[in-house]
A = this chain, B = another copy of it.
């Protein structure tokens, strides 16, 4: 693969860090706007251009990370944009549209990304492997400080940071974790978790984010309210109380499977690796579901010869844009199914 956005490794792929058996990744995101310029949805083309230039200059000066890649979205080919979406570095919406907008991808390992002129002027994101919200917050806080020294943010002493959507007003922060909950799915307890999460005003989304169903037992859990709470309170509550409760629940389900329904568990895991090693055509959703069961098997030590990093890497690399980038050309769905199966077979060969 050549140099370009999304060509390095992603930090979360490592599958390391605290509670990484259940928590794929942690994300903290801040919404910020430049004072005196209309929010992107109300901004004129010149305003948006201005914001892009201001952020570019501020980023160049602040040097928020070791390496920083500036991506002008208007010059970025559609396939590359989709790669960034699949890597959770920009949103689907940000990949669309023709208005001036940009993305900053920073590393090593893409731990930082900034969308410029998405719903807000700046959407800053730090993504890390495992349950790692406090550390991610410390990182994003430093980045935010560095930028705030060079940009005047839209801020109200009464409400806090002002944002395009009222649900983000206040801290402008959203925290989320990508959870892997295969055992709760197998035992059928997942619906209880979903209901409980909704009762706590948390959003539960699928692997592909907003509007996506839970495919392959991956669930993105995020806070919904940002107004009226401090960043630390929000984060502590999420990291120390809510997420650990879900983790415990999943681990209990895994233990129960290991003790009482071992053969059911092994059947799922073995069927998954058998299909992945043999299929000649694989759909994206099927691949994700099978990789989920393999990941479970690796976590529980019932599957040898495969490691979590390899599985995580496949979860990323089997997505449509990633497949096409490796192939160096656009492929229709049936070509992708064949390419996906081929890639998976090669990587998981015994």
Query: Which of A's residues lie within 8 Å of B, judged by CB?
Result: 263-264, 266-267, 270-271, 273-275, 277-281, 338, 341
Contact = CB atoms under 8 A, between A and B. Distances in A.
Contacts of A279: 267, 270-271, 274
A270 B273 CA distance: 13
A291 to B, nearest CB: 15
A275 B274 CA distance: 6
Contacts of A281: 263-264, 267
Residue with the greatest number of chain B CB neighbours at <10 A, chosen from A275, A277, A278: A278
A281 B264 CA distance: 8
Contacts of A263: 280-281, 338
A302 to B, nearest CB: 10
A280 B279 CA distance: 18
Contact of A270 (B266, B270, B271, B278): B278
Contact of A274 (B264, B274, B338): B274
A263 to B, nearest CB: 5
16 contacts: A263-B280, A263-B281, A263-B338, A264-B281, A266-B280, A267-B280, A270-B278, A270-B280, A271-B275, A271-B278, A271-B279, A271-B280, A273-B278, A274-B277, A274-B279, A275-B275
A109 to B, nearest CB: 34
Given A271-B275, A271-B279, A273-B278, 11 more contacts: A263-B338, A266-B280, A267-B279, A267-B341, A270-B278, A270-B280, A271-B280, A274-B275, A274-B279, A275-B275, A275-B278
Residue with the greatest number of chain B CB neighbours at <10 A, chosen from A263, A270, A273, A275: A270
Contacts of A278: 270-271, 273-275
Contacts of A274: 274-275, 277-279
Nearest to A280: B267
A286 to B, nearest CB: 11
Contacts of A275: 271, 274-275, 278
A341 B267 CA distance: 9
Nearest to A281: B267
A341 B270 CA distance: 11
A272 to B, nearest CB: 8
Contacts of A338: 263
A284 to B, nearest CB: 16
Nearest to A264: B281
A26 B118 CA distance: 71
A338 to B, nearest CB: 6
Contacts of A273: 278
A67 B328 CA distance: 68
A273 to B, nearest CB: 6
A69 to B, nearest CB: 37
A266 B264 CA distance: 28
A236 to B, nearest CB: 43
A277 B350 CA distance: 14
Nearest to A272: B278
